[in-house]
């Protein structure tokens, strides 16, 4: 091979190598851009899932709190009803006691009045 042909062959090989390198760099940049885009999509999906799960947990917690609240209120109502019943029972007993004492006092006064007249 003559020298000019060798030089042309080398230049052609270098040009082809430069094209291969340029194509590889372009391909690498495209892949990197795609990977970044996919990473952004995955991150966004993960954030959505996390937000959704957090909302579900919050709703579950609210439901549990509401159930517990109702249990506490019902227990409080039952306690109140029991206290009211006991208070009514005590009022009746207190009235009965007061009436008995009043009747006894009236009876004692009546006896004293009878004894005083005799």
Tokens of 4: 């000019």
Q: 117 or 61: whose pLDDT is higher?
A: 61
Look at residue 63 in the predicted model and tell me its pLDDT: 98
Side-chain half-sphere exposure of 43, counting CA atoms within 13 A: 6
Amino acid 27: pLDDT: 95
Taking residues 10-31, report their average pLDDT.
94
pLDDT for 59 beyond 90 = yes
What's residue 46's pLDDT?
Answer: 98
Residue 1 banded pLDDT, cuts 50, 70, 90: low
CA distance 103 to 109: 10
Q: How many other C-beta atoms lie within 10 A of the C-beta of residue 65?
A: 10
Residue-level pLDDT at 88: 85
Distance CA 28, CA 114 (A): 126
User: How far apart are alpha carbons 79 and 39 in whole angstroms?
Assistant: 59
Contact, 69 vs 77, CB < 8 A? no
Report the distance separating Cα 22 and Cα 28, nearest Å.
Answer: 10
Instruction: List, for residues 66-118, the tens digit of each pLDDT value.
Output: 999 999 999 999 999 999 998 888 888 888 888 899 888 888 888 887 777 86
Given this model, what pLDDT does residue 95 score? 86
């Amino acid at each position: 091979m003559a020298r000019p042909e060798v030089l042309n062959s080398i230049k052609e090989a270098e040009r082809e190598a430069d094209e291969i390198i340029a194509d590889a760099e372009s391909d690498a940049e495209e892949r990197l851009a795609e990977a970044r885009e996919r990473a952004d999509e995955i991150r966004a999906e993960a954030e959505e899932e996390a937000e959704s799960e957090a909302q579900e947990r919050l709703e579950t917690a609210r439901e549990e709190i509401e159930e517990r609240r109702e249990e506490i209120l019902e227990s409080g109502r039952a306690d109140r009803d029991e206290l009211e019943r006991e208070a009514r029972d005590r009022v009746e007993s207190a009235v009965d006691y007061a009436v008995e004492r009043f009747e006894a006092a009236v009876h004692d006064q009546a006896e004293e009045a009878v004894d005083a007249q005799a």
